[in-house]
Structure 1
Amino acid sequence: MSKKTVKVAVASLIAAGALAATAGPALAQATQPAAAKIAPCTASALKFEAGTVSRPINHVLIKATNTSKKTCDFSAETYPLLRLHKDQQAVTPVVDGSEPQAVVTIAPGESAYAGLTLSAADSSEKGFKTGKIEVAVDRDTALKSVTVKGGPVFIQPGVAKVTYWQDNPADALLW
């Protein structure tokens, strides 16, 4: 093989490599099947539980378990919509800063969690006791009544806040 033939062959390989490097990701995306779209979780696909915890004090852990046969996510509402009292006009506010890095997705049988702060030890605000809270995962659905295990609990309406849905209970109770 002559030097000129070798140079042409090497140049062709370099050009082909550069083309593959730039087209590679696009080509790889074009050849892979599209990911299945995950539907938002619905109240009918979830079983809700709520219970007091020993730490932190004045908190309730809310658990939503996927009872359907399909994976779902909390993209429609990224935190639980709560009504803590029958006269409450708006949903319980969310804790700023508790948003996870990605939308929480739960496979069949798996759970997501949210933490509910009930009251503050240093607040003189009046409150009320309740053994039930109402939960929804979408603004267009009815609220589901959930009994608070370990309740009744004392709630100060101006203090109460809920976290975004989390994929584990420890993160839900950080706030």
Structure 2
Amino acid sequence: MSSLRTSRTRLIGAAATVVLAALSLTACNDGTGARNEGASTANTPTASPSSGAPSSGSGSNSSSGSSSSDGKPAAATTKPAPHTSAPKAPVSSGKPVTCEGSNTKTVAAPLSRPLNHMLLTVTNTGGKRCYLYGYPAVRFGEAQAVPPVIEDSQPQAVVTLEPGETGYAAVSLSAGDGSGSNGYTAKSLTVYFHGPSGNESVGAGAHPSLPAKGVYVDDSLKVTYWQQSMDDAIN
């Protein structure tokens, strides 16, 4: 009889143990018990950013405080400097005119090379495009004749000067080998300008200054056609 009671007591104890084990297993499976060691660490939720950090929402590219997708601060966006156009040359207005003394400034400068030469520089000081036709008709001192032009210097096109631009001509003052005759020292110069036909002087003449000691000229005096560049005039 006592052995029967002992067996029944053991059976009840074993059943209680089974019930407790089942309850323990249920607690582990509902997420409130111990962490499941077999779960992947990739499923573990990451910490959310603190409330004070700016959001890096899709397409955000704020100029300050933004973050890249890897958590590093994004480079600040700098606005490009406004484009500044280069200064433009004066624009001519109206119908082109002939370059002459009233709308240009003429400078005469003796050259050390070639020997016995002078460079005439004419700058358009007006507001319209002007044309330098032909060659300069120069008059040194009281001379009456206009010196001839060097035909080989004729350019392919008429020299055109926009406002502020410059044209050139060279003057061969005297023979470098001393073969010229009727030489004299001139202390004044007048430059006249030709029109489209090339046979007449138009407008006002120019009166560029000469060196105080004057320049020596003889009957070999010649001029070049007007040129667009200084090198073409000198060469």
TM-score of the superposed pair, with normalisation by structure 2: 0.53
Partner of 2:137: 81
**Distance (Å, rounded) in 1 between the aligned partners of 2:95 and 2:204:** 25
| RMSD (CA atoms) | 1.8
Partner of 2:208: 146
Shift of 1:142: 4.2
TM superposition outliers: structure 1 runs of 4+ over 6 Å: none
Q: Distance in 2 between matches of 1:159 and 1:131?
A: 18
How much does 1:169 deviate? 1.2
How far off its partner does 1:118 sit?
0.5
Candidates 114, 121, 128, aligned match of 1:63: 121
Higher Cα radius of gyration: 2
For 1:35-114, list aligned pairs within 5 A.
38-75=96-133, 78-86=134-142, 88-114=143-169
State the number of aligned residues.
135
Counterpart position of 2:184:
128
Indicate the percent of aligned positions where both proteins have the same amino acid: 39
Higher relative contact order (CA 8 A, sep 6+): 1
Deviations 1:25-58 (CA, angstroms, capped at 9, x unpaired): xxxxxxxxxxx85322132101010011111010
Distance in 2, matches of 1:136 and 1:99, equals 18
1:165 maps onto 2:226 in alignment: yes
Contact 2:102 2:204 (8 Å CA) reproduced: no
Deviation at 1:61, TM superposition (A): 0.2
